[in-house]
Amino acid sequence: KFVHQYYDWDGIVFNDIGGVSYFSDGKKLDILGLGNNDVAQERRQQRNSPALIDSLGKAKNAKVAIIYEPRFRAYTKNWTKVASWDIPYPDPIGFYDSVTFYAVNPHDAPMLMNNLRQYEPSLPKEIVVRYY
């Protein structure tokens, strides 16, 4: 819902194609390639890299990257870490219990921070929000 409310028509980089894809209309860049043919082809040829994701994200004019940081930290080198949401209940399928928000371009970080702060009261009370 956050993406739909603040970045509905903007490019988004992410690693989980579920809700973000369903609830928003902008260009998407899926790091895993499940929702993006360019990434899927590069992964198939074992050429997927942080530099590729960074360049594809900028080509899609991505404003925000939303990722499970521990697994995809290598991709974040050129992004600005803004916040994370820690989820206190166990994930039944084994993914991570925290999602991290990055500004793909540093000049977008203040707006992302502002949007996250405005949206925070809409989150369930159990979610722990951290700002960086």
Of residues 93, 92, 84, the one with CA closest to residue 112: 84
User: What is the value of pTM for the model shown?
Assistant: 0.84
In whole angstroms, what is the distance from residue 69 CA to residue 83 CA? 11
59-118 per-position pLDDT tens digit: 778 899 998 887 778 888 889 999 999 988 766 655 668 899 999 999 999 999 999 999
In whole angstroms, what is the distance from residue 116 CA to residue 127 CA? 13
In whole angstroms, what is the distance from residue 81 CA to residue 98 CA? 13
**What pLDDT sits at residue 97?**
81
**What pLDDT sits at residue 58?**
81
8-46 per-position pLDDT tens digit: 888 888 887 666 767 777 777 777 656 665 665 666 566
14's enclosing H/E stretch is strand 11-14
The encoded tokens of residue 120 equal 């925070």
Write the CB contacts of 81 (distance below 8 Å, at least 6 apart in sequence).
100, 101, 102, 132
**What pLDDT sits at residue 55?**
74
**What pLDDT sits at residue 106?**
93
